[in-house]
Amino acid sequence: MAFFNWDDRYSVGVKNIDSQHQTLFAIVNELHTAMLQGKAKNIAEPLLIKLIQYTQEHFSAEEKLLASVQYPQLPGHHLLHTGLTQQVEDFLVRFQSGERALNINLLNFLQDWLTKHILSEDKKYGPWLNQHGIL
Ligand SMILES: [Fe+2]
Ligand SMILES: [Fe+2]
């Protein structure tokens, strides 16, 4: 069983966005697998970099979509994305300057970082997108 399982609770009601979020979950699961296999030291850094890159792509795709339907909360949502990107970049810097050990606390941080935003903020735009014909 994966560390970080997707279920309908995380759905924002828009297929394309859900699948991008699922990809983010999958990268965190890859980190977890690496940790369990004791390979974390070698592959954690490229995986963290992959997570940051994919996160940035996702945030910009999400913001583009929200802009296309004049989502009223977009400016605030953009600021949240900036803050989250900063957090995960700081996380990488700490990882690179520390002992480079990957442990469950770090994975819990990533899981928290991702789920809180999806559940509390991304879910808010779902109905607006649906009303504008984006499903
Ligand atoms: Fe978002
Ligand atoms: Fe998102």
Query: What pLDDT tens digit does each residue of the chain (135 aa) get?
Result: 688 889 999 999 999 999 999 999 999 999 888 888 887 667 888 988 999 999 999 999 999 999 999 999 999 999 999 999 998 898 888 888 876 666 787 888 889 989 999 999 999 999 999 999 999
Query: CA 77, CA 117: separation in Å to the nearest integer?
Result: 10
Amino acid 14: pLDDT: 97
**Structure token digits, residue 60:** 């910009």
Look at the alpha carbons of 113, 116, 119, 125 in this order and tell me if their dihedral is positive or negative.
negative
Smallest-distance ligand from the CA of 114: 2
Amino acid 56: pLDDT: 96
Amino acid 103: pLDDT: 76
CA 29 to ligand 1 center in whole angstroms:
20
CA 72 to ligand 1 center in whole angstroms:
14
Smallest-distance ligand from the CA of 77: 1
Amino acid 79: pLDDT: 97
Smallest-distance ligand from the CA of 17: 2
Nearest to 65 by CA among 26, 20, 7: 20
Smallest-distance ligand from the CA of 82: 1
Domain covering 13-131 in this structure, CATH number: 1.20.120.50
**Structure token digits, residue 51:** 């997570």
